[in-house]
A and B are shown apart, each in its own frame.
Chain A
Amino acid sequence: MHDSEHADEASRRGVSTKAVEMVVAAIIFGLGLVVVFDSRRVGAGWADDGPQAGYFPFYIGLILCAASAWTLLRAAFSDHAAGGVFVSRRKLRLVMSVFVPSLIYVIAIYFIGIYVSSAVFIGAFMYWHGRFPWIKIIPVSLLVPVSMFLLFEVWFLVPLPKGPLEALIGY
């Protein structure tokens, strides 16, 4: 398997599927343990009035541990089950270039409300990814939040998170 990986290294370098597979299975195993222990904490047995709160989740946790252990062992001992590259660096950078702005966008909603942050988010995305001229960026990034505002706040009367700007115009 080494030969094929040397072929074009630049696009193939990255995290191996095997590693990700094992980490994910281990995390799921850990979650299974959490479920098992918490079910034990609240009682996984039989009370006077019937099954206790942890009765059902306890078994769910056990099966979860067993299934993830199976995946983990399969990934660890079989190259066939998990070979290749999970995500190359180039692709990871592309994925991050969507995820990081989205994360910043969601955090920004806390502070400046959803409408302003949406406008900035769409505008920034168009600028960095699409390399659009400002003459296209400004109308699109304004039109979307404004139509959202009309749809939610005005017609359907569903309140969305708002910030200082909306307070200024009386909402």
Chain B
Amino acid sequence: MEEFNSLMQGFSVALTYHNLLFMLVGILLGVLIGVLPGLGGANGVAILLPLTFTMPPTSAIIMLSCIYWGALFGGAITSILFNIPGEPWSVATTFDGHPMAKNGRAGEALTAAFTSSFVGALFAVIMITFLAPLVAKFSLKFGPPEFFAVQLLTFCSFVGLGKGHPAKTISAMMLGFALAAVGLDTVTGTLRMTFGTSELLRGFDFLIAVIGLFGIGEILLTMEEGLAFKGVHARINPRVVLQTWAQLPKYWLTALRATLIGCWMGITPGGATPASFMSYGIAKRFSRTGEKFGTGEIEGVVAPETAAHAAGTSALLPMLTLGIPGSPTSAVLLGGLLIWGLQPGPLLFVEQKEFVWGLIASMYIGNIAGLLIVLTTVPWWAAILRVPFSIIAPVIVVICAIGAYTVHNAMLDVMLMLVFGVVGYVFKKLDYPLAPMVLALVLGDMAESSFRQSMLLSRGDVSIFWSNGLVGGICGLALLMLFWPVISKLLARLRRGNNELDEARPVE
């Protein structure tokens, strides 16, 4: 019941007049960001972060997290109406969402998408409410080796759960770590990889990387695909909404599975994108109408949207409790915490109760408000996408440039943003994953310091990482994740060798 009381206190923080206003602004901006190509949750929040430096941290995080919810909602609009996933996690939504829209069921598809996003997010928030304090309390016992083990698990999960080739995932990740190491080493005061230039003293800021990789890179990619957006007109009226809502309870099992997948993938940093694909795949396999998936099945919209939102939301759990973000956007929010002078991690729940519970309460309100806002304003957002790309593209480049400049008031950062844009474009085309690179850039210093502290404790003996059950268990899990691509291949081969019939059965 302690959680319940804290949550109520949180509501009293979140429900103040100006926090509600920030919430509203956040959601509207978020949907806009989610709808526009080249702007997404991660770089949208990164661009707006400098504007919040002077705000009280609680209001700032409420606004920025609402941008995140808004972006999650907004991705569905472009996927369904335009067959253009505004965000990577809504790619799976296009499979059934767009066919539905073409069959004249756009309103139904949008209602289903928004509602199931809401349900996924709601369950994830409830989970955060009750699980986060426990995790935080538990992790108070963590020492440096345990923290390093959890970080190791984070990064190994990318190799195990990611779609890309392991070598590329590892390259991207290590590149992030290497960039994080550039600059002044705070422990010994040594300059690393600055090559005598004073500009590199500060190192590479991950906000610049995020804006370049996701913003400029995305614009370049979109440009390649040509400029025309062809959309389906959408009208949502209350009758369609109510009719769809009446239909949705039928899919409770799909939604439940999707929520579980989403929460799991959000906490272990698989992220929203693989969660949505996995959920779509599993729904297709288990559904009675599975063979019709892809032609406009409402269940094919429910599954990925629920999972994406559940994952996107639960990615905040490890960010708040351990200081280890589960997705690029939560990594940017983590960067925000550091800038506002808050130390993320287990102590946050003890020292900054008002902040944490205000944020959690705002997740409830923000998602309800988000659902109502998107349901009522869909036509406007669709209209924004009818603005020609030749206007949207330069405006987004301008916004990215401003965002990059305001981080440190440095022109070099704007140049670096362009460089990261090219890197993002090339990496996307070659299937190098960007999320592990960004996360490594954010967590690099933290991972390094916990590694060093562990090494100090053990006087350079690596066996400290399996010196007790807890740290050994986490490291074991990390290694399992790291070698998962190899293990799963071996398992598949074994199974095929043993029994040909097994192929037809769903593999759990």
Contacts and interface: CB of A to CB of B under 8 A. Distances in A.
B134 interface: no
A32 B174 contact: yes
B223 A122 contact: no
Contact of B415 (A25, A31, A34, A106): A106
B429 A51 contact: no
Given A64-B171, A64-B178, A70-B167, A42 B190 contact: yes
Contact of B188 (A20, A38, A52, A81): A52
Contacts of B143: none
B391 A68 contact: no
Given A67-B167, A106-B401, A54 B192 contact: yes
Interface string B167-206: 1101100110110010001011011110000000000000
B50 interface: yes
A151 B406 CA distance: 13
A132 to B, nearest CB: 7
Given A60-B178, A110-B411, A98 B192 contact: no
Contacts of A102: 216, 397, 418, 421
Interface in A48-88: 50-57, 60-61, 63-64, 67-68, 70-71, 74, 81, 86-87
A134 interface: no
B188 A53 contact: yes
Given A95-B425, A109-B414, A60 B390 contact: no
Given A161-B405, A161-B411, A64 B175 contact: yes
Interface string A114-141: 1000100110011001101000000010
B136 to A, nearest CB: 27
Contacts, number: 169
Given A51-B455, A122-B394, A152-B402, A87 B224 contact: yes
B388 interface: yes
A115 B422 CA distance: 24
A127 B129 CA distance: 52
B408 interface: no
Interface residues of A, number: 66
Contacts of B391: 122, 125-126, 130, 140
Interface residues of B, number: 58
Nearest to B414: A106
Contact of A129 (B390, B397, B401, B455): B390
Contacts of A99: 220, 418, 421-422
Contact of A125 (B165, B224, B394, B456): B394
A71 B389 CA distance: 36
Contacts of A20: 426, 429-430
Interface in A4-35: 17, 20-21, 24-25, 28, 31-32, 34-35
Contacts of B167: 67-68, 70-71, 74
B451 interface: yes
B219 interface: yes
Given A24-B426, A109-B401, 12 more contacts: A20-B429, A28-B171, A53-B188, A57-B192, A64-B174, A67-B170, A68-B171, A95-B224, A98-B219, A99-B418, A106-B414, A122-B391
A117 B389 CA distance: 19
